Amino acid sequence: MENPTRFCRAQGAIESKSTSTAGTGNCLAHQTIARAEPPFCCAPERCDVLVAPLFARQKEGLLAQGATQQRSASAYCPLVGQGATEYLVLLAVVLIVALVSVALLGFFPGMASDAQETQSKAYWSAASPLSLVETHARVYQPNEALSAPYLRVRNNGAYPIRITRMLGANNSISQCGNLEGTALVNMSDVGYLGPGEELNFGNAYRLNVSFQSRNFHIQTLSDSTVFGAHVLKAASTNCRNSTIDPGTLVVKNFGFEYIEYIDGQQITKREVGSKDLVVPCSGMDIALP
């Protein structure tokens, strides 16, 4: 009988060519390994000779693979420590960022107040009919519980106006210093403004003797001291006696009550700002009414 030639494959490319005697051939078992391919075999009596060693090799490979997997599983333990380390590093980064933020806020304490001053100045310079074209403030001497502001007011309206009261934080005053700064008078006596005209309340800087006074003061809301009729109790924060950090004068709900003269009629109105009045402070004022 002619020697049969068979080709068998298991998991890829195992090729075997038979040169045996009749009825025999070199090939893999009829029971194909791992069922990876359709069965290819030749003489069944030769299959056990080739299959047994291959099964042994596969078993050894599986055992080795199991050992490797077991080692891989045990290698997971260091990952717990690695995760804890990463957590600590992340926590350290967060703490550093927080410390830097606090340091920056401490290093630039005036940044927030500068923004408030800019917004307040933009709002009040465009207010109508009464706008503030210039503002300053100083702590008052001899009583440092008060601020001495300087407000330059303009009538942006089309009609004459007479200011009768100054408003702030739901309080108001109706008196101020006279033009010479020697006595108190009703605000209405010195508060007339034609269209486009300007006048000043307060003379905090005293840089020019020609400045008319109309002096007044602003008191902190938390201060319980009772002062005169020209002191407006309305400041959330007040000026301080310091050349390094003189502070900021902040007044909520600042505004004016005024009479507007329209075609012979006198109409009483109020103008209350939707933005706080924020005035930067500097230096110390001198003692005048």
Read out DSSP for 78-135?
A: HHHHHHHHHHHHHHHHHHHHHHHHHHHHHH-TTHHHHHHHHHHHHHHHS-SSEEEEEE
The predicted structure's pLDDT at residue 180:
80
List CB contacts of 38: < 8 A, sequence separation 6 or more: 32
Q: Give the pLDDT band (50/70/90) at residue 51.
A: very low
**Alpha-carbon distances of 218 from 18, 185, 190, 235, 251, rounded to whole Å:** 114, 17, 19, 6, 9
Cα-Cα-Cα-Cα dihedral sign, residues 115, 136, 200, 276: positive
Three-class SS of residue 58?
A: helix
List CB contacts of 204: < 8 A, sequence separation 6 or more: 136, 137, 138, 148, 149, 150, 285
Q: Give the pLDDT band (50/70/90) at residue 29.
A: very low
Mind listing the pLDDT tens digit for each residue in 185-203? 999 999 999 999 999 998 7
Q: Give the pLDDT band (50/70/90) at residue 159.
A: very high
Tell me the percentage of the chain whose pLDDT exceeds 90.
40
Check: CB of residue 32 under 8 Å from CB of residue 26. Answer: no
Side chain identity at 264, as an amino acid letter? G
Mind listing the pLDDT tens digit for each residue in 37-49? 444 444 444 444 4
Average confidence score pLDDT of the chain: 75
Instruction: Determine which of 41-45, 162-166, 181-185, 282-286 has the lowest per-residue pLDDT on average.
Output: 41-45
Q: Give the pLDDT band (50/70/90) at residue 141.
A: confident
Q: Tell me: pLDDT of 107 over 70.
A: no
- Give me the residue label for tokens 């804890």: 84
Short-list 151, 154, 150, CA closest to 198: 154
The predicted structure's pLDDT at residue 284:
63
Instruction: Determine which of 69-73, 139-143, 188-192 has the lowest per-residue pLDDT on average.
Output: 69-73
List CB contacts of 288: < 8 A, sequence separation 6 or more: 177, 181, 203, 213, 215
Beta bridge partners of 148: 138
Tell me the percentage of the chain whose pLDDT exceeds 70.
61
Three-class SS of residue 163?
A: strand
More confident residue, 87 or 59: 87
The C-alpha angle 35, 41, 42, rounded to 5 degrees, equals: 170
**Alpha-carbon distances of 161 from 40, 197, 267, 270, rounded to whole Å:** 112, 10, 10, 11
Side chain identity at 15, as an amino acid letter? E
Predicted TM-score (pTM) of this structure? 0.61
Alpha helices in 126-221 (DSSP H): none
**Assigned token pair, 52:** 């047994």
What are the extents of the domains in the chain?
A: 1-75, 77-108, 114-284
The predicted structure's pLDDT at residue 57:
53
